[in-house]
Structure 1
Amino acid sequence: MPNEPQIQERAARPYAAIPIEAPMREWGRVNALVPEVFGWLAEQGVPPAGPLFYRYRVAGDMDRPFRLEVGVPTPAPVTGDGRVIAGTIPAGRYATLLHQGHPDKLFGSITALLRWADERGLKWRNTREGDQEVWGGCFEYYLTDPAEEPDMDNWSIELAYLLA
């Protein structure tokens, strides 16, 4: 996968996730959900059908909370239990970019993808809820298994943002 933005058509995919609201300064609470969602899938006997992802609904910052889900694609729809929710990765055209390196350096790749789309007049499939912009499909897919590559400087993370 080249390290420059692309547009890809993708099919809908079911997933299981745990939603959370947290500002960047409390990101440890977000990351702590990763083993929980994988543990829930194992308890249900559901194998992952793709890489871990963070689905951003509302962007935040160091103090304003992000609204997001920590999820994993599943081979078929699942039934949530209140803590874990069932969802669907929306079908559609996505602007994508592969980030190589530490997750702490994602901001540069995110900025590059947003700029690339803006230069081409591309619009996101977003809505408004009051004063908040709600993303219809804003995903970070963690393609590298930390058990196989513990050095986060060597990780691959795919950004995939749903286009209008």
Structure 2
Amino acid sequence: MPDIVEHPDRPYVGVRKTITMTTFGVVADRIAELIGWLAERGVGLAGAPFLRYHSIDMEADGLDVEAGVPVAAPVEGEGDIRAGVLPAGRYATVTHHGHPDQLAGVMDELLKWASGQGLKWDMTESGTTEHWGCRLELYQTDPRVQPDPAEWDTVVEFRLA
């Protein structure tokens, strides 16, 4: 069952790319690099690594996605690693236990639940593209500790209007 949570601004570092459904690795595989980059600078993580969906156009198979890692305080970026902030606000959230391939169904259920509750998203549409204020998948499980994706926990959070 989804919940609604309130979050303050959350600083992070991330790498943002335009991808397709078949090229997720271009951005998702950068999470380990981001963690290493922070470790080299003595900066610890302040939460779970994530993917942030800035825009989604399923008809054109185009996604503007960012891999990110939360930090306790802002950190200056370097190269294509940039500093950012997940915006404060109310988020509808649900936790999924299982393979990440099942997340599309989890997200569909969250969208249906929110619609049934009369909730509105921090999202605008332009043609076939959805532009999200903050739509996240937060990866709670360290794959070095639990290599079986069927045992992973992922929190899905969509910011409400």
**TM-score (normalised: structure 2):** 0.93
Structure 1 residue 39 corresponds to structure 2 residue 36: yes
Relative to structure 1, is the Cα distance of residues 62 and 31 closer, same or farther in structure 2, using a 3 angstrom cutoff? farther
Structure 2 portions without partners, runs of 5+: none
Matched AA of 1:26? T
Match of 1:74 among 71, 74, 81: 71
Pairing of 1:74-153 with structure 2 (within 5 A) = 74-128=71-125, 132-153=129-150
Q: Distance in 2 between matches of 1:127 and 1:86?
A: 24
Q: Distance in 2 between matches of 1:60 and 1:54?
A: 16
Structure 1 portions without partners, runs of 5+: none
Structure 1 residue 18 corresponds to structure 2 residue 15: yes
Q: Contact (CA 8 Å) 1:124, 1:163: kept in 2 or not?
A: yes
Q: Percent identity over the alignment?
A: 43
After superposition, what is the alpha-carbon deviation per residue over 1:42-89, rounded to whole angstroms, capped at 9, x for unaligned? 222211111110000011449622101100100101111241111111
**TM-score (normalised: structure 1):** 0.91
> Residue 160 of structure 1 aligns with which residue?
157
Q: How far 1:132 moved relative to its partner?
A: 3.0
May I ask how many residue pairs the two structures share in their alignment?
161
Relative to structure 1, is the Cα distance of residues 16 and 153 closer, same or farther in structure 2, using a 3 angstrom cutoff? same
Q: Distance in 2 between matches of 1:26 and 1:61?
A: 14
Pairing of 1:24-63 with structure 2 (within 5 A) = 24-61=21-58
The list of structure 1 runs, each at least 4 consecutive aligned residues, that deviate by more than 6 angstroms after superposition, is none
Q: Contact (CA 8 Å) 1:24, 1:62: kept in 2 or not?
A: no
Q: Contact (CA 8 Å) 1:17, 1:70: kept in 2 or not?
A: yes
RMSD: 1.6
